Amino acid sequence: MFLGLAALGQAQDCSNSAWTGTSYYLSSGTALTPEDVRVPDVQLGELTADGNGNVTGQVTESADGTIESSTIKGTYTVTGACNGSQTLTITPTGSPSTISYSAFQLVSSGTQLLIATTNPGVNLTGQAYAAAVQSPSACGQGSLVGSYGFQGSSPALGLASPYSFSGQVMFDGNGGLRFALTLNDQNPGFSGTSSLTGTGVYTVATDCSGTASFGLQTAVTANYSFAIVQGGTVLFLETDPGTLFYGTWQPDTAPMVLPQFAFGGGWYSALYFTNTTNVAVSFPVNFVADNGTALRVSAIGSTSVTVSIPGGGTAIVEAPNSTQTLAEGYAWFTLPPGVSGYGVFRQSVTGKPDQEAVAPFEAGNVASSTMVWDDTKYVTSVAIVNSGATAGTVSITLWNNDGNTVGTSSISLGAHQKTEAALRTLQGLSTMAGQRGRARFVTSEGTIAVLGLRFDGTAFTSIPVQQ
């Protein structure tokens, strides 16, 4: 039996500490039954490493269509060359334990792992990836939202023929899905290549694993286990007995968010875009008020605008400081391939020079964000957007220079709502004044986008956020 690891370490000068946290892997090939019969095999597993050579986890396996769940406990060793080995005890539900051996190599700066089994008679290889988020309670329904392209295949099982399909699936962020796919299946009862559409349901657990059901035909449902990994890719395995179907769901393009968009009352905001391709593109930009409703931008005369950019061109969307009344919210959009940009804020104060700051766009499909703050002689403010379709609570934890916890707080946000505040004014965070350190924002449900701003009197600047 094969089991894989993932790594969060460096690409060189590695040690056991190079691998910590939760990872998911997908492997395929052939394995041996207890009767020493070679059969096709696929596994989707979760592993958590402590950085000291110990690992625990669980795995769902389809061996020639027989579905089995097991727990995992074992040890691993990482060398200075960032390769290593592991020895794992695998305990299936209601069956005796077995020992699994494998070798691995860290790649992509330690964010992925290439693995191969070393058990005699077993031929399984695969890749492992860090989980989408490392907090044990950071994922929820809204962690899987938007359009995903997918592909998968199944080897021949018994007398059945192999089959494959590709298509698109849309997740609504609230447990519902719809899909369209092209299936190539030569098995009896199917007519070769066919097109299927339908709907289904899904559930995302707090550890970024989940289950989904696709209604393929009347009274025919396909059931899957899946895991969301770093970068938003989803690994999946069908869990219906007699099947051995697996593959990936790939996000089309993540929605982007500028978490603070303010105009009037002394504030100006702008969005800059550039098209690095030689093909003209168009896409909508939507504006949302803090309470989650559509925000009408007076300079545009609408709550959204279509941005058109010629090949190699640029575009700007402006909201000037044209009224005495401050309007606040955020902007969200999906950028076509090859298009990038940033936001600009400007504050005007009578008798003083205008102050500006550039702010990056943030991905709108993440469940956690981290930033460095400095409140020694500055004030750190944040804008937090619940970009998901469900209400959630954002937990905030602050650490100081020494890594000690400074305070914790939480904010409840409805679907698509946003809030902004000076961090030190939130309940439980007042002791950050006079210190500097790190802040982490994690949502209990859905997804978030966070923007940090540092103020020194009227001057201010944006704070980079790691998602």
CATH number (domain holding residue 380): 2.60.290.11
- Of 188, 216, 251, the residue at which a domain comes to its end is 251
Inside any domain, residue 429: yes
| Banded pLDDT at 329 (limits 50, 70, 90) | very high
One domain, residues 305 and 235: no
pLDDT digits 0-9 by tens, 362-380: 988 778 889 999 999 999 9
Inside any domain, residue 10: no
One domain, residues 37 and 126: yes
Inside any domain, residue 9: no
One domain, residues 108 and 175: no
Inside any domain, residue 23: yes
One domain, residues 34 and 117: yes
One domain, residues 104 and 54: yes
Inside any domain, residue 314: yes
Inside any domain, residue 3: no
Inside any domain, residue 61: yes
Inside any domain, residue 7: no
One domain, residues 26 and 105: yes
- Of 110, 130, 150, the residue at which a domain comes to its end is 130
Mean pLDDT of 124-141: 78
pLDDT digits 0-9 by tens, 195-224: 788 899 999 998 889 999 998 766 678 899
One domain, residues 205 and 279: no
Find the largest Cα–Cα distance for the chain.
Answer: 86
pLDDT at 263: 96
One domain, residues 344 and 409: no
In the chain, the number of structural domains is 4
CATH number (domain holding residue 89): 2.40.160
One domain, residues 239 and 172: yes
CATH number (domain holding residue 240): 2.40.128.120
One domain, residues 212 and 303: no
One domain, residues 298 and 198: no
One domain, residues 24 and 103: yes
pLDDT digits 0-9 by tens, 31-52: 988 888 899 999 999 988 898 9
- Of 325, 341, 359, the residue at which a domain comes to its end is 359
* Containing structural domain, residue 274: 264-359
pLDDT digits 0-9 by tens, 86-129: 999 999 988 889 999 999 987 766 667 889 999 998 999 999 99
